[in-house]
Amino acid sequence: VLRRIGRPVKKLLALGPRIRRAVSDAVATPTEQLEPVPSGTPELVTYLRAARWDGSVLELTGWAYHVGWPDDADVKVVASAANGRSAEFEVIREPSELVNTVAQDPACDHSGSAFRARLAATELIGSEPANAIFSRTWSVDVVLDRGERSDQTSFSRRFRWGSAGQLAAQQVDGCLIRPDWEAKGRLTLTTARRAVSAVSVELADRSAFLRLRIVGNLRPNRAVIRNDAGDERDVPLSTDGQDYVVQVDAASLIPGDSTDGSLAHQRWYLSVLDGRVARQVHWSAEGGRGLIQTYPGDPRCSVRHAPSGVLRFDVATPRPLLDDVQLVRTEPAALKIRGRYDGDHVALAS
């Protein structure tokens, strides 16, 4: 959907206050209160604008600059783990006037501080043991290097909308790579190989059949679904060769006293248990990140690959969802809105 919004420069400046409100709270002083500072003590400002997956490559876009200083520093983006390992992103400079709209730094033009950084996930998981469970956390930092001076910090702010506000995981070579924004304002990456993954999901009328693959010594004898409110229900679990099969019916997800009308949104998560040990079921790369499948016999129920990497069942009245908003630098400028219909696409067409 494109909405024409007039000449780019004037309209972009007019949108400044609303854009700034859509950026997460800062760790340091808000930019609109910043004044040009002495050259010896510049403040380093970093923003995360978007975080997307291009296959197995993680792509971050944003900007970094010193308040009151020109944008002539080399920019590096580095992921570092606690064991001393590190991986450096490929950084491509991509100037953007949006930086000045948000920054409001009267001393300098910071449009040249914008960049795009790319990192192949295999750089993070290449040395991990094969066919073994593991979990590792990486901190993502931005470095501005001027030779005689090098400053490093995490992304201090992010845009609340779009991909930066809804960070999504990806499966690469059987491993989960999950970006996460911590409460104190820090971007991290978690790499892991999970114990239980759904390698296939088949839907028939009001039932979903999931084939699970196990890594390690887990031997589940029970499967349950739990919702955000803490309600728990058992679902059928059986074996098929080396795999396990779970059946989740719509009747297990929808309250028994509900009608065909609207429902309050519910989220259910599938786990398998081996005695007292419970493991959540994650989705695998076979289906792809963001996949949503609706029950043919009840469009209010769906199974999906949640952004965190787990397999999730949703119960809700079908509705349109907003995924991303982008400013298109055309003449006149335009607003590109990307979304999807969460429900029965056949019903939407009719």
Digit-by-digit pLDDT tens for the chain (350 residues) are 444 444 444 444 444 455 454 554 443 333 333 333 334 557 889 999 999 999 899 999 999 999 888 888 999 999 999 989 999 999 999 999 999 988 878 778 999 999 999 999 999 998 888 878 889 999 999 999 988 888 999 998 898 878 888 888 888 888 889 999 986 778 999 999 888 999 889 999 999 999 998 988 889 999 999 999 999 999 999 998 889 999 999 999 987 655 555 677 889 999 999 987 889 999 876 555 567 888 999 888 999 888 788 899 999 876 676 667 787 877 788 888 877 665 544 443 33
| Biggest distance spanned by C-alpha atoms of the chain | 70
Encode 243-260: b = buried (16+ Cβ within 10 Å), e = exposed. ebbbebbbebbbeeeeee
- Give the C-alpha distances (Å, rounded to integers) separating 322 from 1, 162, 195, 326: 11, 8, 32, 12
- Give the C-alpha distances (Å, rounded to integers) separating 284 from 34, 103, 168, 176, 211: 46, 40, 14, 8, 11
Residue 11: count of CB within 10 angstroms of its CB = 15
| Cα–Cα distance for residue pair 127/186, rounded to 1 Å | 25
Backbone φ and ψ of 255, nearest 5°: -55, 140
Q: Is 283:230 a contact under the CB 8 Å cutoff?
A: no
